[in-house]
Amino acid sequence: MAGDSDRMIALFYTWLGPRCRPTHLPLFNRRHDDLDALLRAQDVIYVGGGNTANMLAVWRVHGVDAALRRAYESGVVLAGVSAGALCWFAGGVTDSFGGLGRLDDGLGFIDGTMSPHYDGDPGRRPAYHALVADGMPAGYAADDGCALHFVDGALHQAVSSRPDARAFRVKRAPDGAVVETPLPTRFLGAATAR
């Protein structure tokens, strides 16, 4: 979570502690030998934001990528925001390399590509369109405050915590034009600040 940031870990426990039994997996100061047992013991694995490319590289060095796959296949729910949303896809739009660019080595639990922060970063939409026009596989985009809910690799629904947050299917048409189709998005109610 954000490079094992002490501040982010403290916030994680502060927000979730009263609601569940949270735990975290530090990798920069690793304390767990059996990643499979730790990850399979979770009901939900939540991945926060940060640098997607660096996160994936660190996961691969430690074998977290394979352990996550096994946890997912055993029924553990996977979730995340920003880098933690993008990582589950085969690729997508990232700011991991300085500017906005292409990421081709996501975990691939969900086919296709993804762009988070679709309305939160003014460069995301044009960058995603340009990459898809240039041959990047089709995928999904989500505004800030919008989540894509997949079941067994297929989109089940888009939900939001903001009434105007939306999700989109983005693909290249046979004529080469990029087509962006808004997806039905169910507003769950406003997120409450603490």
Rounded Cα distance between 49 and 132, Å, is 23
What mean pLDDT comes out for the span 11-26?
75
Q: Is the pLDDT of residue 164 over 60?
A: yes
Rounded Cα distance between 39 and 134, Å, is 37
Per-residue model confidence as pLDDT tens digits over 91-145? 999 999 999 999 999 999 999 999 999 999 999 999 999 999 999 999 999 999 9
Average pLDDT for the chain: 91
| Known active-site residue 149 | no
| Known active-site residue 115 | no
Q: How many CB atoms lie within 10 A of CB 174?
A: 5
Catalytic-role residue among 96, 115, 117, 160: 117
Catalytic-role residue among 5, 24, 32, 82: 82
Counting Cα atoms < 13 Å in the Cβ hemisphere of 32 gives 17
Class of domain 2-187: alpha beta
